[in-house]
């Protein structure tokens, strides 16, 4: 099952603002070469926007964040808790409404599934030993 990332408005404004300004300002000023040079960066940003999701297949959680891929064995998840809402924290998420998957001492991943409760329910069905922070339970 595929769960898209939740997308915050501020993230949409920031990303689409960069995309539009990055193309239109050079074109308006007649710098078509500059617009072509910035095109790979714009395509990368759009890749992140349209391809950030979390897919549960068998006992694996596959995270896609643009060109970045990560696979987590659901049976190794120990705890799930609410992440800080720091916008500077790097995570495969397009929202500040994030959860943290703790899979061991140094293996922590922060994500933001759109349907968080259904996502958590499926993880618990696969691995009933996962401890979930009280605030996340419905």
Ordered structural domains, the chain, with CATH: 2-136 (2.30.29)
Q: What pTM value is reported for the model?
A: 0.86
Q: Which residues are CB-neighbours of 43 under 8 A, at least 6 positions away?
A: none
For 7, the token pair is 């997308």
Question: pLDDT digit string (tens) for 10-69?
Answer: 999 999 999 999 888 888 888 888 888 899 999 999 999 999 999 999 999 999 999 999
Q: What single-letter DSSP state applies at residue 59?
A: T
Cα dihedral across residues 22, 24, 26, 29: positive or negative: negative
Quick: pLDDT tens for 86-112: 777 778 899 999 999 998 777 889 999
CA angle 19, 71, 111 (to 5 degrees): 50
């Amino acid at each position: 099952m595929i769960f898209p990332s939740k997308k915050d408005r501020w993230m949409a404004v920031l990303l689409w603002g960069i995309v539009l300004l990055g193309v239109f300002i050079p074109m308006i000023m007649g710098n078509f070469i500059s617009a072509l040079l910035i095109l790979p960066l714009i395509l990368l940003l759009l890749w992140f926007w349209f391809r950030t999701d979390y897919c549960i297949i068998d006992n694996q959680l596959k995270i896609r964040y643009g060109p970045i891929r990560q696979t987590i064995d659901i049976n190794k998840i120990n705890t799930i808790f609410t992440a800080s809402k720091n916008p500077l924290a790097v995570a495969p998420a397009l929202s500040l409404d994030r959860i943290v998957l703790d899979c061991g001492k140094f293996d922590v991943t922060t994500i933001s599934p759109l349907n968080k409760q259904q996502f958590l329910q499926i993880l618990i069905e696969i691995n009933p030993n996962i401890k979930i922070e009280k605030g996340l339970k419905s």
